[in-house]
Amino acid sequence: MKNFLIPMLSALVLLSGCAVTEESAKPDAEAAAAEPAPMVNDYPTRDRVDYVLECVAKHGGLTYISQYACGCKIDKIAEKLSFAEYEAARTFSQMQKTAGEAGAAFRDPKQSKDLRSRLKEAEAEAEKACFVK
């Protein structure tokens, strides 16, 4: 009986599969083509890892809690800023420390100030959300 049931169940599973005709697939394909997919994760893995490693170092070294919290933190920042904004804000933040006129191009423009403050706010909110005090 056992030898008979396995082939029958296999055949039943194969026969009960979902058949898709060209007509039934067309509306879904058209809808998918009409609406662009939202950009859920546009941060490259390398940049996420760099951020997590820097964050872990600032929070006392590698532990499960710091690693998890720092991963959470970059995810929260990614919800607030696109990668282009994040990258520009990080560049402005790092380069503003350049002394003299060379650093003025990174310190003084309104865009620099706006992006740096948005990144700082996003990091502060993420810190509160991800780290248990």
Answer yes or no: is 57 within a domain.
yes
The C-alpha atoms of residue 95 and residue 129 are separated, in whole angstroms, by 28
Where does the pLDDT of residue 78 fall: very low under 50, low under 70, confident under 90, or very high at 90 and above? very high
- Give how far the C-alpha of residue 20 lies from the chain's centroid of Cα atoms, to the nearest Å: 34
Please state the domain count of the chain.
Answer: 1
CA–CA gap between residue 67 and residue 128 (Å, rounded): 15
CA angle 39, 43, 46 (to 5 degrees): 150
The pLDDT value recorded for residue 25 is 46
Report angle CA 11, 15, 16 to the nearest 5 degrees: 120
Residue 26 lies in a domain: no
Does the residue 114 lie in any domain?
Answer: yes
Domain that holds residue 109: 45-130
Check residue 71 and give its pLDDT.
96
**5 domain-assigned:** no
With respect to residue 24, please indicate whether it lies within any of the assigned structural domains.
no
User: What does the pLDDT read at residue 43?
Assistant: 95
- Asked whether residue 68 is domain-assigned, the answer is yes
Nearest to 115, CA basis, from 103, 127, 106:
106
Domain assignment of residue 72, yes or no: yes
Q: Does residue 105 belong to any structural domain of this protein? A: yes
